[in-house]
């Protein structure tokens, strides 16, 4: 054996002892374990096709500056890729704040606990408030009740993976119950179902729609007393209830519009002021000093002199 071959074999032997014959900087690799100490297997932005053994600090900086670090928590170089190296990578990412992916698992960020999901918009907007199999999902009625769709749209019950209107109690949570009496589940939608629903609604106190009309499925006036609550009773004289349960103009001289605002004459189906004497007899004259008649946009109105 020649002296040169012997020298080469000795060098290879020393290499195996000192470095384990591991790859050096710039050498191809597949895993971190193939690279020498202080190096990791990482892809270069300029050479994406093949990972190379790279100085650890350089590889870490590349991963931290890459878009997937900010969006998905893939901030740590490992075995040729940027991965989630721990919960800290995930917690600093948009995936955590937006989707609840705040825990590292197998190099990726996932939903690890319910609290992470509940703090993210996916809970408030989509009712996905429970962590399951690494994702935020709708875990039950409680999740639906947390979401905005429950208060706004009555979607408070979980059915077949989605939040839906499932019972009367869901409708009672809605603004429509307080506003128009839509407090019961009827044929899959919220609607009034009895007088009580209408009586406690704003539609009763402001518009006189205080009774349930089974023929229309809506709230409607029952009596002239209900119509007297209607704003148009005072303004236009719609103070009498008709057989089809509508507020209509009756005898203007006996109505609230005449007593309060001097609108004592029925003209074209509307109660109007006929003369100044009507204003002077009105409660508006005594209370507010509106004792004179003046031309308004739609005829005479009572005004202060």
Write down the residue that tokens 């093949």 correspond to: 50
Q: Are the CB atoms for 300 and 272 separated by under 8 Å?
A: yes
DSSP H or E stretch at residue 247: strand 247-249
Q: Are the CB atoms for 105 and 72 separated by under 8 Å?
A: no
Residue with more model confidence, 54 or 235? 54
What does the pLDDT read at residue 120?
96
Backbone angles phi, psi at 291, to 5 degrees: -110, 0
What does the pLDDT read at residue 14?
46
Rounded to an integer, what is the distance from CA 222 to the centroid of its chain? 38
What does the pLDDT read at residue 16?
43
The domain ranges of the chain are 22-107, 111-164, 172-220, 224-305
Structure tokens at 98: 């937006």
What does the pLDDT read at residue 90?
97
Enter the DSSP assignment of 273: -
What does the pLDDT read at residue 47?
59
Structure tokens at 224: 């002239």
DSSP H or E stretch at residue 179: helix 175-180
Residues 232, 233, 236, 241, CA torsion sign = positive
Mean pLDDT score, 15-34? 77
Share of the chain above pLDDT 70, in %: 92
Q: How confident is the model at residue 9 (pLDDT cuts 50, 70, 90)?
A: very low
Rounded to an integer, what is the distance from CA 247 to the centroid of its chain? 38
């Amino acid at each position: 054996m020649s002296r040169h071959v012997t020298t080469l074999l000795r060098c290879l032997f020393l290499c195996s002892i000192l470095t384990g014959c591991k790859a050096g900087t710039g050498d191809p690799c597949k895993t971190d374990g193939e690279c020498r100490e202080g190096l990791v297997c990482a892809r270069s932005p300029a050479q994406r096709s093949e990972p190379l053994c790279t100085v650890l600090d350089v590889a870490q900086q590349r991963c931290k500056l890459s878009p997937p670090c900010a969006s998905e928590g893939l901030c740590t170089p490992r075995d040729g890729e940027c991965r989630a190296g721990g919960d800290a990578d995930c917690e600093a990412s948009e995936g955590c704040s937006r989707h609840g992916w705040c825990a590292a698992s197998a190099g990726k960020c996932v939903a690890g606990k319910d609290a992470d999901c509940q703090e993210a918009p996916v809970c408030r907007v989509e009712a996905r408030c429970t962590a399951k199999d690494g994702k935020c999902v709708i875990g039950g009625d409680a999740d639906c009740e947390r979401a905005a769709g429950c208060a706004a749209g009555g979607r408070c019950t979980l059915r077949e993976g989605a939040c839906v209107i499932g019972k009367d109690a869901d409708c009672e949570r809605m603004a429509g119950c307080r506003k128009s009496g839509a407090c019961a589940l009827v044929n899959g939608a919220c609607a009034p179902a009895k007088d009580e629903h209408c009586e406690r609604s704003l539609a009763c106190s402001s518009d006189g729609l205080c009774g349930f009309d089974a023929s229309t499925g809506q709230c409607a006036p029952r009596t002239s007393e209900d119509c007297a609550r209607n704003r148009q009773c005072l303004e236009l004289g719609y103070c009498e209830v008709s057989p089809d349960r509508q507020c209509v103009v009756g005898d203007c001289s006996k109505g609230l519009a005449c007593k309060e605002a001097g609108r004592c004459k029925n003209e074209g189906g509307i109660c109007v002021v006929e003369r100044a004497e009507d204003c002077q007899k009105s409660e508006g004259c005594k209370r507010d000093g509106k004792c004179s008649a003046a031309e308004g946009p739609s005829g005479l109105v009572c005004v202060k002199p």
